[in-house]
């Protein structure tokens, strides 16, 4: 609980800097009380102050005030996080970074763009498309999710198997640290550096616990001329994984690679159901449904498509109903939903989406899928299904979404969801993997994540105190959990 005196002082200091873009009115603060993480539907974490800086300098002023008064600061962006990473449960100042949404430099020759971190990935790509380019880091949330959010959350990308995630694109970033200093980290427009330490990398997945990322320089790519998206029913999940690895070894450059279990497909066939009035007919023998895309010049795309079909013909069957493939791709990339019938709300009218997001090595994917089925049953969680995303260039690199439908009207069900996450995380460690690959610690894995880091966790603490000595940046995350004890 922060004293009302402190909050008044903070507001009085920020008002001259931000004018109408700072507020203590509950009407505004209420709007920042939730992200997309599973919790009881009545839960609210309402910040004490909301501030919307438009520049790094304004953001510095906010953090300096917070530092002086020792008030927590949270960076808010797309608000679509699944781990409670922006929940202001310790009170304080919510910095809505979306006000920093300008392109600062477009260097076409060097294929580089400098942006304010509050720009959405969607808007950035609209801009780049005019120049025949794109930022291939493309999370499904890209209409709301920002460049800063991609850095802070290290979220997944639809095209990770070809281009990697945001770290592969970022060459430099500016961060307002917990002290209020604004420091540039990185290597200008060069793609890598072997001098000093790669401190910039620390901000990827830092969840705003080290500072507020306000600007970034990103290497962008030419837009491929054509793309082919294909779906395949596969006999087994493990078989699908190895077949894809072999495909890439053979020289096929996959652009996206998502392996779903049977149940998960139904989450992506909303438009199919709307158009046909029925569920897709999945063959009984299929344990997995694989979606891949290849992109480039049309002759290359045709060639690679033929190779893929050849590879899978004995271990699966192509999804012939184009509506299933189009619907899936709309969910993953185009977001081209029929007006007034967008998928996300319709799919969560009764229960909400929740997920554990471990990463395991290729050979252990079937084992952790078995665990998923077992733990869902144990904790009475309704299975939504698994998707194995692949997020490192040209290799099977599982970043897995084990999704369930949480009954957010039932506190016991929510509690059980986090027990499910806890055991899935423990299983991931046993299977030589990691607890989280794209959601982050948020307010769920903090402290419990020592199980993964062991002795090195002390260095995580030291790094935190180096950048944020007063522990004001997004407290209640990474080092403590509200849900998993």
Work out the number of other CB atoms within 10 angstroms of the CB of residue 126: 11
- Tokens found for residue 194: 């072997």
Which member of 96, 154, 391, 441 binds other proteins (CB under 8 A)?
A: 96
Start-to-end CA distance of the chain, whole Å, equals: 22
Q: Which is nearer to other proteins, 124 or 176 (CB)?
A: 124
Which member of 103, 167, 335, 383 binds other proteins (CB under 8 A)?
A: 335
The minimum distance between CB 94 and other proteins, in angstroms, equals 9
Which member of 339, 454, 455, 462 binds other proteins (CB under 8 A)?
A: 339
What is d(CA 73, CA 170) in angstroms, rounded to the nearest whole number?
24
Rg, Å, the chain Cα set: 22
The minimum distance between CB 86 and other proteins, in angstroms, equals 11
Which range touches other proteins (CB under 8 A), out of 7-15, 17-25, 208-216, 419-427?
17-25
The minimum distance between CB 21 and other proteins, in angstroms, equals 6
Q: Which is nearer to other proteins, 70 or 415 (CB)?
A: 415
Q: Which is nearer to other proteins, 271 or 390 (CB)?
A: 271
86, 74 Cβ separation under 8 angstroms: yes
Which member of 1, 16, 19, 20 binds other proteins (CB under 8 A)?
A: 20
The minimum distance between CB 472 and other proteins, in angstroms, equals 22
Identify residues 26-85 at the interface with other proteins (CB under 8 A).
26-28, 30-36, 41-42, 44, 46, 50, 52, 78-80
- Tokens found for residue 102: 């300008």
Contact flags string 398-437 toward other proteins, x per CB under 8 A: ----------x-----------------------------
- Told to check if 106 binds other proteins by CB under 8 A, we report no
The minimum distance between CB 51 and other proteins, in angstroms, equals 10
Q: Which long-range contacts (CB under 8 A, 24 or more apart) does 163-169 make?
A: 163/136, 163/137, 163/221, 163/393, 164/137, 164/391, 164/392, 164/393, 165/137, 165/391, 166/137, 166/204, 166/218, 167/201, 167/204, 168/137, 168/393, 169/135, 169/136, 169/137, 169/218, 169/219, 169/220
247, 307 Cβ separation under 8 angstroms: yes
What is d(CA 380, CA 371) in angstroms, rounded to the nearest whole number?
14
Identify residues 165-224 at the interface with other proteins (CB under 8 A).
none
265 CB contacts (<8 Å, ≥6 apart)? 280, 282, 289, 324, 328, 385
Edge-to-edge strands of the sheet including 226-234?
A: 316-318, 226-234, 288-296, 256-261, 382-390, 398-406, 352-356
What is d(CA 442, CA 205) in angstroms, rounded to the nearest whole number?
10
What is d(CA 414, CA 57) in angstroms, rounded to the nearest whole number?
41
Which range touches other proteins (CB under 8 A), out of 200-208, 247-255, 285-293, 332-340?
332-340
Q: Which is nearer to other proteins, 138 or 179 (CB)?
A: 138
Contact flags string 122-161 toward other proteins, x per CB under 8 A: xx--x--------------x-xxx----------------
Which range touches other proteins (CB under 8 A), out of 25-33, 296-304, 312-320, 357-365?
25-33
The minimum distance between CB 33 and other proteins, in angstroms, equals 6
Q: Which is nearer to other proteins, 46 or 167 (CB)?
A: 46
Identify residues 342-401 at the interface with other proteins (CB under 8 A).
342-346, 348-349, 351-353
Q: Where are the beta strands (DSSP E) in 131-210?
A: 133-134, 170-177, 182-186
Q: Which is nearer to other proteins, 14 or 210 (CB)?
A: 14
The minimum distance between CB 76 and other proteins, in angstroms, equals 8
Q: Which is nearer to other proteins, 140 or 323 (CB)?
A: 140
473 CB contacts (<8 Å, ≥6 apart)? 72, 73, 177, 178, 208, 209, 210, 211, 212, 467
Q: Which is nearer to other proteins, 46 or 383 (CB)?
A: 46
How many residues interact with other proteins (rule CB under 8 A)?
A: 49
Task: Label residue 476 left, alpha or beta by phi (over 0 means left) and psi (-120 to 50 means alpha).
Answer: left
| DSSP 3-state of 478 | coil
Identify residues 242-301 at the interface with other proteins (CB under 8 A).
none
Q: Which is nearer to other proteins, 26 or 461 (CB)?
A: 26
Work out the number of other CB atoms within 10 angstroms of the CB of residue 427: 22
What is d(CA 407, CA 263) in angstroms, rounded to the nearest whole number?
18
Which range touches other proteins (CB under 8 A), out of 116-124, 419-427, 446-454, 465-473?
116-124
Task: Enumerate the β-bridge partners of residue 76.
Answer: 96
Q: Which residues bind other proteins (CB under 8 A)?
A: 20-21, 23, 25-28, 30-36, 41-42, 44, 46, 50, 52, 78-80, 96, 98-99, 120, 122-123, 126, 141, 143-145, 335, 339-346, 348-349, 351-353, 408
């Amino acid at each position: 609980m922060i004293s009302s005196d402190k909050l008044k002082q903070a507001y009085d200091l920020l008002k001259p800097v931000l004018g109408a873009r700072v507020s203590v009115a509950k009407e505004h603060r209420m709007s920042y009380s939730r992200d997309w993480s599973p919790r009881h539907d009545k839960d609210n974490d309402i910040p004490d102050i909301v501030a919307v800086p438009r520049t790094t300098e304004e953001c510095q002023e906010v953090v300096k005030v917070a530092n002086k008064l020792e008030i927590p600061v949270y960076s808010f962006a797309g608000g679509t996080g699944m781990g409670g990473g922006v929940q202001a449960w310790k009170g304080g100042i919510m910095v809505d970074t979306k006000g920093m949404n300008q392109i600062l430099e477009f260097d076409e020759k060097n294929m580089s763009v400098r942006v304010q971190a509050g720009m959405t990935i969607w808007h950035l790509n609209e801009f780049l498309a005019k120049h025949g380019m794109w930022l291939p880091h493309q999370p499904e949330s890209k209409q709301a999710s920002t460049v800063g959010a991609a850095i802070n959350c290290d979220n997944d990308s639809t095209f990770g198997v070809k281009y990697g995630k945001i770290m592969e694109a970022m060459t430099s970033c500016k961060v307002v640290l917990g002290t209020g200093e604004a420091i540039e980290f990185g290597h200008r427009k060069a793609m890598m550096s072997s001098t000093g330490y790669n401190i910039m990398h620390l901000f990827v997945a830092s969840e705003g616990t080290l500072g507020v990322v306000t600007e970034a320089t990103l290497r962008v790519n030419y837009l491929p001329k054509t793309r082919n998206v294909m779906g395949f029913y596969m006999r087994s999940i493990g078989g699908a994984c190895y077949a894809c690895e072999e495909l890439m070894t053979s020289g096929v450059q996959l652009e996206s690679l998502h392996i779903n279990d049977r149940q998960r497909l139904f989450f992506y066939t909303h438009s199919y159901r709307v158009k046909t009035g029925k569920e897709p007919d999945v063959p009984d023998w299929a344990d997995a449904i694989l979606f891949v895309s290849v992109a480039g010049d049309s002759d290359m795309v045709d060639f690679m498509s033929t190779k893929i079909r050849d590879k899978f013909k004995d271990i699966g069957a192509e999804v012939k109903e184009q509506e299933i493939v189009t619907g899936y791709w709309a969910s993953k990339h185009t977001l081209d939903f029929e007006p007034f019938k967008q998928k996300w709300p319709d799919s969560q009218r009764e229960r909400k989406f929740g997920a554990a997001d471990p990463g395991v090595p290729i050979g252990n994917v079937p084992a952790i899928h078995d665990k998923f089925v077992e733990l869902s049953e144990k904790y009475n969680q309704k299975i939504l299904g698994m998707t194995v995303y692949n997020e490192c260039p040209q290799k099977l690199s599982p970043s897995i979404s084990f999704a369930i439908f949480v009954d957010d009207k039932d506190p016991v069900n929510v509690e059980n969801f986090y027990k499910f996450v806890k055991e899935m995380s423990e299983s991931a460690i046993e299977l030589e993997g990691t607890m989280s690959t794209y959601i982050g610690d948020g307010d769920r894995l903090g402290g419990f994540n020592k199980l993964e880091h062991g002795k090195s966790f002390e260095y995580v603490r030291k790094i935190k105190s180096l950048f944020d000595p007063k522990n004001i940046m997004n407290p209640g995350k990474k080092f403590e959990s509200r849900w998993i004890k």
